[in-house]
Amino acid sequence: MIYYKTEAEIDIIKEGADILGRAHGLIAKAIKPGIKTIELDKIAFDFITESGGKPSFKGYNGFPGTLCISVNDQVVHGFPSNYELKEGDIISVDCGVFWKGFHSDSAYTYPVGKVSEEVSSLLKATKQSLYLGIENAIEGNRIGDISFAIQSYVEGFGYGVVRELVGHGVGKKLHEKPEVPNYGKRGNGPKLVSGMVIAIEPMINLGKKSIVQEDDGWTIRTSDRKPSAHFEHTVLIRKEKAEILTTFKYIEEVENSKN
């Protein structure tokens, strides 16, 4: 069953999403060669809890971290660890905040120092595909319209679209109906109605679409060991234009200051 949010509930999600965005901004500042991914996790945990929120992921089905941290060929659900980031790595950071009874969910893939042109193009295209998906997240469309927009764009570059993992509804639960695949046909799937809140999250591989799960039971990586990118926003369906509830503003402020 799909749960539609009231304007008051949407305001709560936005408040939590601002905490989430600020946490991402702090992580963006800290990402550099030599930092351990467990240190990034602590930064996020401390900020979210000091702000009065709770990390959505910590303890979720036994997940150990505040952040899902996935480096290079890891797609999603990687554990924070003692791995030290290196120049040329990419790192997907997925985080959720639980605030006043509601979750928000957002992910961003960061370059560590200077990355190859090939990888930089993957990051750009994956981020752009997220916004193309969001453009289709309007009342009267269907989930497949979002899926098609993402798939058709990234496959134009020869990238692989992960099939087994999808976006989702978000609200009182971290994962609600409907599922939001990153591949599909226009006009297919559940109809989009104002008040639906969904997490759209393209997971795009430089190589093949196929993935494998590591022995830890969580970490997903590409089967061909090529890099993967992941970007995510929590989005509200409205009549003429989707409203993005999460924000990359704090990340982009940091990234622009580095350039």
Give residue 149's pLDDT.
98
- Which pLDDT band, with edges at 50, 70 and 90, does 197 fall under? very high
Contact 235, 137 (CB under 8 A): yes
Question: Percent of the chain beyond pLDDT 90?
Answer: 98
**Integer CA distances (angstroms), 119 to 88, 109, 127, 129, in order:** 9, 11, 12, 15
Ramachandran angles phi, psi of 246, nearest 5°: -85, 175
Q: Which residues pair with 25 in a beta bridge?
A: none
> What's the rounded mean pLDDT across residues 5-28?
98
> What's the rounded mean pLDDT across residues 71-92?
97
Tokens describing residue 165: 């993992």
pLDDT digits (tens, 9 = 90+) for 173-192: 999 999 999 999 999 999 99
Q: Is the pTM of this model over 0.85?
A: yes
> What's the rounded mean pLDDT across residues 55-69?
97
Whether 259 has a pLDDT exceeding 90, the answer reads no
Domain ranges of the chain: 7-258
Tokens describing residue 144: 């497949």
Nearest to 181 by CA among 219, 148, 209: 148
Q: Which residues have C-beta within 8 Å of that of residue 11, sequence separation ≥ 6? A: none
Query: What residue type is 228 in one-letter code?
Result: S
> Looking at the domain 7-258, which fold is it?
Creatine Amidinohydrolase (3.90.230)
Give residue 96's pLDDT.
98
Distance from C-alpha of 118 to C-alpha of 259, rounded to nearest angstrom: 19
Contact 19, 51 (CB under 8 A): yes
pLDDT mean across residues, the chain = 97
Give residue 55's pLDDT.
98
> What's the rounded mean pLDDT across residues 228-233?
98
pLDDT digits (tens, 9 = 90+) for 115-156: 999 999 999 999 999 999 999 999 999 999 999 999 999 999
> What's the rounded mean pLDDT across residues 45-57?
98
Distance from C-alpha of 93 to C-alpha of 225, rounded to nearest angstrom: 19
